[in-house]
Amino acid sequence: MIALIQRVLEARVTVDGEEVGRIGAGLLALIGVQRHDDEAGGERLAQRLVGYRVFGDDEGRMNRSVADVGGGLLLVPQFTLAADTRKGTRPGFSTAAAPAEAQQLFERFVLQVCRIHGDVATGRFGAEMCVSLVNHGPVTFWLET
């Protein structure tokens, strides 16, 4: 699984003009599911996401996690993260998980993150979403299992 995480001051997701998820300060995580991903990989990614230290400590060093600072988490499914872009000028999606499998793994991932961190906001799987955010830093990292 892939997570593109961004430290944000705020973020929200809308579908057809309806807000389906919103957080204040915390992490926005775009989640991609690849063909050979499984629940064990999702559990590892959930642990890393919640524990990844991207927030400043008293000295300004990135030494605190979203759990440490009590920040929000917005998890947004994004199949394009699993695209193969190594050649040509058009992405290929043969590396992405099939939609039904990806949805099941994404939903399981959300439950795993909730178990570790508490309540999280999410986008809507398979929907055309509008994601708005204020990236703080900017701070953006790619996590993969």
106 a catalytic residue? no
Strands 62-65 and 53-56, bridge-based pairing: antiparallel
CB 95 within 8 A of CB 37: no
> From the candidates 80, 85, 93, 140, which is the catalytic residue?
80
> From the candidates 6, 34, 78, 112, which is the catalytic residue?
78
E strand or H helix at 131: strand 129-144
Half-sphere exposure of 50 (CA within 13 A, CB side): 19
What does the alpha-carbon distance between residue 67 and residue 23 come to, in Å, rounded to a whole number?
Answer: 14
80 a catalytic residue? yes
78 a catalytic residue? yes
> From the candidates 6, 55, 79, 109, which is the catalytic residue?
79
Judged by DSSP in three states, 35 sits in: coil
Active site residues: 78-80
